[in-house]
Amino acid sequence: MKTKKIIPIAIILVISFSCSSPEQPKSQDNNFDFDISDETIEETIRSLKEKHTDKESFRIEKGVKQVASLWQDKDGSVEDFQRYCIDNFISDPVELSVAYNKIERNFEILFGMYNTMSIKLMEPLHLDMGEIHYIDNIMGSYSPSSHLTDDLFANKMAFYIALNFPSYSLKEKSEKSVEWTRQDWAYARMGDMFISRVPADIMQNASVAATNADTYIADYNIFMGKLVNQDMVQLFPDEMKLITHWGLRDELKSNYNLENGLEKQKMIYQVMLNIVRQTIPQEVINSGAHQWNPITNKLFKDGAEISFTAEPYTRYEHLLQNFKAQSAMDKYNPIYPTYIERAYDQSMELTRQEIEDLFIEFITSPQIAEVAKLIKQRLGRDLEPFDIWYDGFKSRANINEEELNKITRRKYPNSQAYEKDIPRILIDLGWSREKANYIANKISVDPARGAGHAWGSEMKGDNAHLRTRVPETGMDYKGYNIATHELGHNVEQTITLYDIDYYMLRGVPNTAFTEAVAFLFQANDLKLLGQANPSNIEEAEALAALDNCWSAYEIMGVSLLDMYVWQWMYENPDCNPKELQQAVERIAIEVWNNYYYPIFGVKDSPILAIYSHMITSPLYLANYPVGHLIEFQIEQYVKDKQFADEITRMLLQGQIIPQEWMKGAVGSEISGNPTLEAVNRALKIVK
């Protein structure tokens, strides 16, 4: 599940991650009316070079050009620009270090306080605090930090940073990584903060759009006890209420090899299709007042069929509003003039083409077809589209989930019980008692309104927050599984804030890396419950490789869909929600037919479009498959080493660029080959 986090100002509202697609989208408005001419820039650079030593030439050129790209009429005249650069450039390395330390301290205060305010304001939306009020939506969508960028440009601190700590392109970072010290990396990360100048009202609009989408999904539940088949038979328990898509997907996963399991799965699949197509009755969304047959899409009241109103493309309205809010920032970003570029090249620091090539190479590999044949044999039937979520390779596949529910409900009757157990969990994973308590004391567990998420701290002294659903009957296994995943996020967030050497290097290269850590924790969930004791280690490792492969295959297709949908929106910026729905369904079918129909033998399924991330978290999905690949590479590396020590060592590299982080962690760049090679071995072991 996605983590919530405030990050440096220039990318505060572009934390999601993007796509690659056949053609580069063009910015709708890429005209910048800055008064600083090339002649003025060159004259300023020449003056500074005459004043300082030659070894500062590179920094001078980058810094002056970066300030010039941000300078506007309201900041002063051309002469003011020149005077500012000449008076404020720092050449002495000792003075530069002093300046860095002072700026770093102040930003930890600012980011930390703004983060705390956001967490508190959004609690009524994220936590189970009763019915959401109008005031909760208004204040929850308010972004306390939205004016900070404007303020720092107004007092010229932004220019001071851009001048003395200029930004570097991904190519430059890659080339310089061999020679850079930790301090050089910290300086570069400070330079990344001010490469654009987005007005506060546009940033606030993006915050509102994102919060509205998040609230829409958080309150999008299906009352499963009200679903009926053609014989008006109820298949699910009365009290079961599932959030889309996470709850629906996890319930579908849990019904493999159970009585009526296939019928239940087919019913859930039809629920998903109705959501994607927006043919779902408005009356069944977050309501148990009616019976609904999702296969025939008929609505009943007291057994009698009644008419209904289909959801009016609300799902796609939120997607469209996120696009409009993010693309409104384009003309204020001279370096990354589309949201797609900002998401990939700027935030993820993996090129869009690099990601798309990685995914397509993986999902078209011959190993995928072999894994699918094995799944078909194990199921004893032809594959259905929903078998993208086949869960039979996990160690828990042979354990009755209701038995797991009994264990977790008894062990964790409320969120406080899970919080108290975190030190024991960390000790079991290899941390010392002292370190386990140190980390656990910095994590708070809250009962989530939605499926759950992790929200890290941005200031030493504050706690990270773990959110997961805890019903009145206690935490069920699904909630526990999610909580274990989110705990991985929180541990990463805590170590890379409290133990890092430079505040500007806190965190990991991008969200895929924190997802990888979370996946590693999640993979140990049964072990941490005392339920994992494989008699055959070789077979257990083979199953893990197959599971990682199939999970990556599933989410890579969804990520490609997300990529291509954003490409389409850039090409069709004036579309309406109905047109967007039709485009999403069409693109989903195209991706399915290209990469899944050859494996499943079923054409034209739009199921990839069910993912809620597409609505709440624009261009975020690519982090998951990259995270799966990273997870497997790390897991293979640490399996004969001490888990906690190795994870801590890797995390303390901090926020350097992804490929350098991976080389430092496991000795090689991000790749799907380790997973595919392990699958070749696994197919010889697993029957």
Residue 3 sits at φ, ψ, to 5 deg, of -95, 150
Question: Does residue 457 register a pLDDT over 90?
Answer: yes
Sheet with 298-301: list strands edge to edge: 291-293, 298-301, 304-306
Q: Are strands 452-455 and 443-447 parallel, antiparallel or unpaired?
A: unpaired
199: pLDDT confidence band, cut at 50, 70 and 90?
Answer: confident
**Helix, strand, coil percentages for the chain (3-state, nearest 5):** 60, 5, 35
Identify the helix (H) or strand (E) that includes residue 285.
Answer: none
Task: State the pLDDT confidence band at 486, using cuts at 50, 70 and 90.
Answer: very high
What does the pLDDT look like over 52-100, one tens digit per residue? 987 889 999 999 999 999 999 999 999 999 999 999 999 999 999 999 9
pLDDT at 520 over 80: yes
Point out the least confidently predicted range of 370-384, 462-476, 494-508, 583-597: 462-476
Cβ proximity of 654 and 513 under 8 Å: no
Q: In this predicted model, what pLDDT tens digit does every residue of 227-284 receive, in sequence order?
A: 999 999 999 999 999 999 999 999 999 999 888 999 999 999 999 999 999 999 999 9
Report the percentage of the chain scoring pLDDT > 70: 94
Q: pLDDT at position 398, please? A: 60
> Please, which pLDDT band fits residue 533 given cuts at 50, 70 and 90?
low
How crowded is residue 98: how many other Cβ atoms within 10 Å of its Cβ?
12
Contact of 632 with 624, CB cutoff 8 Å: no
Distances (CA, A) of 45 to 56, 196, 550: 11, 21, 54
How confident is the model over 335-356, as pLDDT tens digits? Answer: 889 999 999 888 899 988 999 9
The confidence band for 396, taking pLDDT boundaries of 50, 70 and 90, is low
Closest CA to 510 of 629, 657, 304, 681: 657
User: Mean per-residue pLDDT for 592-605?
Assistant: 98
Rounded Cα distance between 436 and 166, Å, is 38
Please tell me the predicted confidence (pLDDT) of residue 3.
Answer: 53
Q: What local confidence, expressed as pLDDT, does residue 430 receive?
A: 97
CATH of domain 400-530+625-685: 1.10.1370.40
Report which of 190, 189, 191, 15 is spatially closest to residue 656, judged by C-alpha positions. Answer: 189
Kindly report whether the global pTM for this prediction surpasses the value 0.95.
Answer: no
pLDDT at 394 over 80: no
**pLDDT band, residue 511 (cuts 50/70/90):** confident
pLDDT at 34: 53
List, by residue range, all CATH 1.10.1370.40 domains of the chain: 400-530+625-685
| Of 141-145, 193-197, 252-256, 300-304, minimum mean pLDDT range | 141-145
Reported as a pLDDT band with limits 50, 70 and 90, residue 534 is low
pLDDT per residue over 670-680, tens digit each? 999 999 999 99
Distances (CA, A) of 556 to 279, 303, 561, 608, 623: 26, 42, 9, 10, 10
Average pLDDT of 553-581? 98
Write down the pLDDT at residue 539: 86
